[in-house]
Structure 1
Amino acid sequence: MTERSPAWRRRALVRRWLMASFVFGQTLVAGYYLLWVLPYHGGTIVELGMLGLFAVLYAWIAVGFWTAVFGFVLRLTGGDRQSLLRRHPPEVLAQTPLQKTAVVLPVYHEPVHWTFSGLKAVFRDLERAGQLEHFEFYILSDSRDPEVWLEEQAAWRRLCRELDADGRLFYRRRTVNLNYKSGNVADFLRRWGRRCRYMVVLDADSLLSGKTLVRMVQLMEREPRVGILQTNPAIINGRTLFARLQQFANRLYSPLFATGLAAIQMGDAAFWGHNAILRTDAFMKHCGLRKLRGRGLFGGPILSHDFVEAAYMGRAGFEVWLEPGLSQSFEESPPTLADELSRDARWARGNLQHLAIMLFEPGLRFAHRMAFMNGIMSYLASPLWLAFLVLTTIEAVQMTLLPIDYFPEGHQGLIPLWPEWRPEWALGLAVSTLMLLFLPKFLAVADQLIRGSARGFGGAVRMLASVLLEIVISVLLAPVRMLTHSRHVIQALLNVTVRWAGQNRTGEATWRQALVTQLPGMVIGAGWSAFAFTLDPMFFFWSLPVAIPLVLAAPTHVLLSRTGPGTALRKRRLLVIPEEQEGLPLLDDAARFRSETGGGTSLGAVAEAVLNPVLNRLHCQLARPRGHHGRCRAPAELTGRFIKAGPDALSRQELCRLLQDRDCLARLHTQAWRAGPESWWGQRIQALGDGSR
């Protein structure tokens, strides 16, 4: 495929060189300052290590700072003229005919009613937009627990009836879930990929308005060289204090960062795995994922597949764009810090795998290799920061407990090296670092004030108060994340297996959970601070910004997981976002659908699948015909134990063996209804009869 437009690539190159000049120039100046802040001015091995780690970390945060500044300037001047939306007037897009598009929802042990209600809201919003006939919906399940996938099948059937969506809403469950989510999508593409020109990928917590879905398809039709078009999802529906902090920060700060990132990456953007539209033929042809051929971490299936798929799409000559102007794209935040960090264990491993692809995969564009590096640094920065703190502690010990070494290791010459301190330089360096971290947040506040949209965040005063609260909490959480991410990186490098499971969407953390997960960090923080106090008072005060958050990690964790503080702040219009103030039909529908009852019974999905004749026929139709001439392949002992003592007498694997077999499932229905009144099934039938009266 030939290059579409050298013009945007030249602009992208200029912007990237400008970014690099700012980042590396600022890092060189900061490194020079640190060199003269250190007592021996880099004359020891420890100080050289500190200088190297500081330069990497400072450059890392400088990239984020300048990305936000670019975004602020572009939004101040009316937006990026090179974006896809700016290329095509709204009236031209409105006249663009649509092509058939698959809306794909991969699920794995998600809350069934909650997840399917979100998809129902998307369906209804497309219906309101009058463009439903161009879209098909696919629920792709990898769930392994029979209680979950049987409930999914029953909920899918109810949803088809409610929406009159037969032939438009499909469900498939893989019995062997190879390669996680990417394998699930690949299985769908092999079977049905050629039915649709485009594919929109959702997560279990994704919501996309009908207007946005239509506009995405129209842009893809107008831009045949675009292989992936990524939206910038806003976080919504936060209930716990932690989730509300995350959604406020995302909604206020991300427009700047997304605008700046899109302007720098342009057609070499990344794919985030959801809330995006893909050109199906190109994706099938060029984005197949092979297993890594190395050892340990760098062997086996690729866990974080989205960046890799974007890089492969770019290698094939297609463009990948992030379009922040596509609004009404939503997702949700994990409700607690523990849930976020648990998810990060998988993400850390997946992103570190990208190191092998970044270095050795041929033909990838440089911008996509840098996207890999960005993802790697999202987690590698934590152990680097930890190493910097360790070296700083060693330096403090050497300067306090050991005699001054006028000829330290690495110093050459006959003239002694005198240690000296420059506190005013250290203060300037600290101020510049804080500016990199926090100035983008206040640029976001200025952006909203200039646009006159502060009211959506509670007004100017409340918005500023919310930002200050978010800064305090982010400072408290930073050392906790540092320690946990460092552990995740070490475990990944040691090839410790990570657990792939459904995410908690609503639960609060208990004190026991908080103490178990945060106790090591609390001990480390208290021990380090106590050691610093005995070593030197100044070093003790220097350690407090890291030590105090670690000591308070458990109560912070519990407080942030509670819905009460989040609700109280919302009532005072703190940490609010525009979607909560103005409302949106899509979000109103999702909230209403999720508040309704799920339509099941107290029996449980397995018992209902066996006893309910309508559901039994449904599950039999979806099961595979594994027996012959009505003969169940499962051992008689297994079916006998199931009928005698109920589902709890069998393991998950044994239940799957029975319930995935069409003949067994039909036979179980007959045997359960013939069971005696004192049996387990007889009691369930009696309860079912009592409930119907």
Structure 2
Amino acid sequence: MAHPEQKCRTWRLRAAVRRCVLILLVGGQTLIAGNLLLQVLPYHGGTPVEVGIVLLFALLYVWISFGFWMAVYGFVLRLLGGDRHSLINRHSSPEIDAAPLSRTAVVMPIYHEPVRWTLEGLKAVYRDLERSGELDQFDFFILSDSQDPEVWLEEQAAWYRLVTELGAEGRIFYRRRRVNLNFKSGNVADFLRRWGRGYEYMVVLDADSLLAGDTIRKMVRLMNLEPRVGILQSAPTVINGQSAFARIQQFASRLYSPLFATGLAAIQMGDAVFWGHNAIIRVAPFMSHCGLRKLSGFGIWRGPIMSHDFVEAAFLGRAGYEVWLEPTLAHSYEESPPTLDDELARDQRWSKGNLQHAFLMLLAPKLRMAHRLAFLNGIMAYAASPLWLAFLVLTTIAAVQLTLAPIDYFPDGHESLFPLWPEWRPEWAILLVTSTLALLFIPKFLAVADVVLKGELRRYGGGARLLISVFLEIMVSVLLAPIRMLAHSRFVVSALLNLRLGWAAQNRTEEIRWRDALVQHLPGFLVGGGWSLFAMALDPMFFYWSLPVSVPLILAAPTTVWLSRISKGEALGRYHLLQIPDTLTPIPLLEDARKLRERLSVDQELTPLERAIIVPPANRLHRHLARPKARGAKRASIDAAVEQCVKSGYPTMDKKALSLALEDAQALADLHKCAWNAPVSSFWGARVQAFVERRLNQTVDNTT
């Protein structure tokens, strides 16, 4: 086996060659396209507006060109059987299987998630690991940042039920932070300070993550074989899509991601990024080198780092550790937001976090260039939208100038001896547009070719259904692109103005209501409609040119409502459209998760908070998990909250005061006693009476 330092030099040299080739391809392609645009523009870049158009076009073209060549590279590598220089291909299957396991914590940070749905998914992961008979090296940690008492009380009860059903005492742990310092990264940091030294590795899951037991064990064994690897990132596939929007995202992820992930992994090699979940981390160096100090700049670049994952990968790289993305790690899953509006709500948080990375990209010392470029890539994921919007604004200004203003034969000033004659070359413009569209859409059909060559056509519903699904996905992508552009532009501006964001829970089930959609997308409707009317009055050709952007903005509300409907997703499924292989082949992990979640029922008898106070076993559980009896001034505040809760019930109480009482063991005991002694006419007396009557009815039914 090669020495680690030798292996490191080998992959770095190969990565440097691959990156140089990519830069030459992208740079050469952009120069050709930029020169073609100069020839298309009437004054050939002779006016400030045209200079701005060319510069913005070049930036956007570089962005999409990188994606195009990444997909092409991934297609070629998959055609050749994969990247033989990837991390997993350094070792044979028998060598990996023979490697030992090590103490590993499987951690799931959660915040106001659908409680039972989330923990049933974790139960499926636990069972999948248990089936191997190699569970002894793994512990599970549910790390809650939930602040709503109804949520965290339900979490505690669901955790206890999970432990009891699995017989997992001393193996599945629950911990809730009472102060959400630094969001998710602070949640994980708190876990590491408490328990990190007891584990060699940490597998990080999101609330919607599913990761097969075989995959987790393979990741641990690979880490033991590669001591210089700090993070090993899998490439999760979107799964469990119900709405039409989620099914389209799921289909696109499953079909296109293998190409892009393979190409990205081959370019990044040991300088990959961390996506925050479905990955394994070497705990000791992570604790030593990935502490996140607050940014010391101004505005958005001052305060805690919101998007932590790219930063942690960069800090590990700076410390000499490798970070690898391994697309061939199978059975790694996540879920898509069910609606476009939910995706945009998530993007609003991510955009601010990614824009913060500009501070680190430019000023953080000793970071590897690959990680600085990863920061730039993350920034461009959102900055591309305002750049595109600015490009549209400048082209509109240019159209106005050509239509309404007299021809300027000396756009650079009258010092020139020769006039600059404006030239219109529509055939060149068509060529430029066609080449740009090719960069966007050729990777999609390369993915179809990859499916055909891999013999997986039938698993996507057959050739005809696969092509229909691809064209449907393209049509929806075209409709959603301008909506995302306008939303992301607003997010970027809000972030640069450092407007405060709330930390909301992720919606995973609800459809969009018509009223909400109309209100949400009214600004886009007005922008799209106004622009089209202006373009029509200005010039018919410019009007036709504006339609691919303006029509989606005008139709944004009905588009998002239709896509949010679960019934539309089910209808597509009945026709085997947007089908993916993972839903056809029985995969134990997915089957377990589906069956466990299908059996969930809503208990309408009592809320989690009412159960915690009224039901004796539940009250004992929460008292056991609560803090010991507080004293002093805090005791007085708790007693006041208990008195208010007993007197008038909890719905009108302040959440902080209510949480203060429910976190105290003595207060829980007092509330339980007072509820059972309350008169029937009171808030708690009525609930106790309803609870007793229902129990009596159930007893009678069971007896008869």
Same fold (TM over 0.5): yes
The AA in structure 2 aligned to 1:476 is L
Partner of residue 604, structure 1:
607
CA displacement, residues 187-211 of structure 1 (integer Å, 9 cap, x when unaligned): 0000000111000000000000001
Partner of residue 164, structure 1:
167
**Contact 1:43–1:411 (Cα < 8 Å) also in 2:** no
The range that moved more, 183-192 or 94-103, is: 94-103
| Corresponding position: 1:690 with 2:698 | no
| Corresponding position: 1:529 with 2:540 | no
Cα displacement (A) at 1:412: 5.1
Cα displacement (A) at 1:640: 2.1
Cα displacement (A) at 1:423: 1.1
**Contact 2:238–2:335 (Cα < 8 Å) also in 1:** yes
**Contact 2:72–2:443 (Cα < 8 Å) also in 1:** yes
Partner of residue 490, structure 1:
493
In structure 2, distance between residues paired with 1:408 and 1:242: 48
| Corresponding position: 1:428 with 2:410 | no
Partner of residue 36, structure 2:
33
Partner of residue 236, structure 2:
233
Cα displacement (A) at 1:165: 0.5
Cα displacement (A) at 1:218: 0.6
In structure 2, distance between residues paired with 1:346 and 1:131: 38
The range that moved more, 290-299 or 21-30, is: 290-299
Partner of residue 404, structure 1:
407
Cα displacement (A) at 1:633: 3.6
Instruction: Give the match's secondary structure for 2:203.
Output: strand
- C-alpha change, 1:544 and 1:690, in structure 2 (3 Å) is same
Partner of residue 182, structure 1:
185
Q: For 2:577, which of 574, 577, 586 is the aligned residue?
A: 574
| Corresponding position: 1:79 with 2:94 | no
- C-alpha change, 1:97 and 1:412, in structure 2 (3 Å) is farther
Cα displacement (A) at 1:566: 0.9
The AA in structure 1 aligned to 2:318 is R
| Corresponding position: 1:151 with 2:157 | no
The AA in structure 2 aligned to 1:672 is A
**Contact 2:638–2:661 (Cα < 8 Å) also in 1:** no
The AA in structure 1 aligned to 2:57 is F
| Corresponding position: 1:339 with 2:333 | no
Instruction: Give the match's secondary structure for 2:651.
Output: helix
Partner of residue 518, structure 2:
515
Stretches of structure 1 lacking an aligned partner (at least 5 in a row): none
Q: For 1:383, which of 372, 386, 405 is the aligned residue?
A: 386
**Contact 2:639–2:667 (Cα < 8 Å) also in 1:** no
CA displacement, residues 2-56 of structure 1 (integer Å, 9 cap, x when unaligned): 7852011000000000000000100000000000000000000000000000000
**Contact 2:483–2:553 (Cα < 8 Å) also in 1:** yes
Partner of residue 91, structure 2:
88
| Corresponding position: 1:444 with 2:447 | yes
Instruction: Give the match's secondary structure for 1:129.
Output: coil
In structure 2, distance between residues paired with 1:635 and 1:211: 48
Equivalenced residue count is 693
CA displacement, residues 431-480 of structure 1 (integer Å, 9 cap, x when unaligned): 11000000000000000000101112111111111000000000000000
Partner of residue 397, structure 2:
394
In structure 2, distance between residues paired with 1:604 and 1:438: 50
How much identity, in percent, do the aligned residues show? 61
The range that moved more, 450-459 or 222-231, is: 450-459
Partner of residue 586, structure 1:
589
Q: For 1:673, which of 672, 676, 682 is the aligned residue?
A: 676
In structure 1, distance between residues paired with 2:46 and 2:634: 81
In structure 1, distance between residues paired with 2:187 and 2:278: 17
Instruction: Give the match's secondary structure for 1:415.
Output: coil
- C-alpha change, 1:219 and 1:268, in structure 2 (3 Å) is same
Stretches of structure 2 lacking an aligned partner (at least 5 in a row): 698-704
CA displacement, residues 147-178 of structure 1 (integer Å, 9 cap, x when unaligned): 00000000000000000000000000001110
Partner of residue 546, structure 2:
543
In structure 2, distance between residues paired with 1:92 and 1:600: 50
Q: Which runs of 4+ in 1 moved over 6 A?
A: none
**Contact 1:262–1:321 (Cα < 8 Å) also in 2:** yes
Instruction: Give the match's secondary structure for 1:634.
Output: helix
**Contact 1:117–1:594 (Cα < 8 Å) also in 2:** yes
Partner of residue 473, structure 1:
476
CA displacement, residues 249-287 of structure 1 (integer Å, 9 cap, x when unaligned): 000000000000000000000000000000000100011
The range that moved more, 177-186 or 583-592, is: 583-592
Cα displacement (A) at 1:601: 5.5
Cα displacement (A) at 1:630: 14
The AA in structure 1 aligned to 2:474 is I
- C-alpha change, 1:678 and 1:631, in structure 2 (3 Å) is farther
**Contact 1:627–1:633 (Cα < 8 Å) also in 2:** no
Partner of residue 700, structure 2:
none
- C-alpha change, 1:600 and 1:620, in structure 2 (3 Å) is farther
| Corresponding position: 1:17 with 2:14 | no
| Corresponding position: 1:499 with 2:479 | no
Partner of residue 701, structure 2:
none
The range that moved more, 102-111 or 674-683, is: 674-683
Instruction: Give the match's secondary structure for 1:121.
Output: helix
Cα displacement (A) at 1:649: 2.7
| Corresponding position: 1:115 with 2:118 | yes
Partner of residue 284, structure 1:
287
| Corresponding position: 1:211 with 2:209 | no
Partner of residue 300, structure 2:
297
Partner of residue 663, structure 1:
666
Cα displacement (A) at 1:492: 0.1
In structure 2, distance between residues paired with 1:166 and 1:49: 64
| Corresponding position: 1:222 with 2:222 | no
In structure 1, distance between residues paired with 2:274 and 2:459: 29
**Contact 1:76–1:447 (Cα < 8 Å) also in 2:** yes
In structure 2, distance between residues paired with 1:509 and 1:601: 24
The AA in structure 1 aligned to 2:662 is L
- C-alpha change, 1:678 and 1:156, in structure 2 (3 Å) is same
| Corresponding position: 1:563 with 2:566 | yes
**Contact 1:529–1:544 (Cα < 8 Å) also in 2:** yes
Partner of residue 130, structure 1:
133
The AA in structure 2 aligned to 1:671 is C
**Contact 2:614–2:675 (Cα < 8 Å) also in 1:** yes
In structure 2, distance between residues paired with 1:568 and 1:601: 31
Cα displacement (A) at 1:358: 0.2
The range that moved more, 403-412 or 354-363, is: 403-412
| Corresponding position: 1:554 with 2:557 | yes
In structure 2, distance between residues paired with 1:406 and 1:70: 46
The AA in structure 2 aligned to 1:58 is Y
The AA in structure 2 aligned to 1:132 is L
**Contact 2:104–2:201 (Cα < 8 Å) also in 1:** yes
TM-score between the two structures when normalised by the length of structure 1: 0.98
Q: For 1:264, which of 259, 263, 267 is the aligned residue?
A: 267
In structure 1, distance between residues paired with 2:573 and 2:505: 28
Instruction: Give the match's secondary structure for 1:5.
Output: helix
- C-alpha change, 1:504 and 1:388, in structure 2 (3 Å) is same
Partner of residue 419, structure 1:
422
Partner of residue 318, structure 1:
321
Cα displacement (A) at 1:615: 1.4
- C-alpha change, 1:629 and 1:360, in structure 2 (3 Å) is closer
**Contact 2:482–2:549 (Cα < 8 Å) also in 1:** yes
Cα displacement (A) at 1:411: 7.6
In structure 1, distance between residues paired with 2:348 and 2:130: 39
The range that moved more, 374-383 or 627-636, is: 627-636
**Contact 1:624–1:660 (Cα < 8 Å) also in 2:** yes
TM-score between the two structures when normalised by the length of structure 2: 0.97
Q: For 1:99, which of 84, 99, 102 is the aligned residue?
A: 102
**Contact 2:638–2:667 (Cα < 8 Å) also in 1:** no
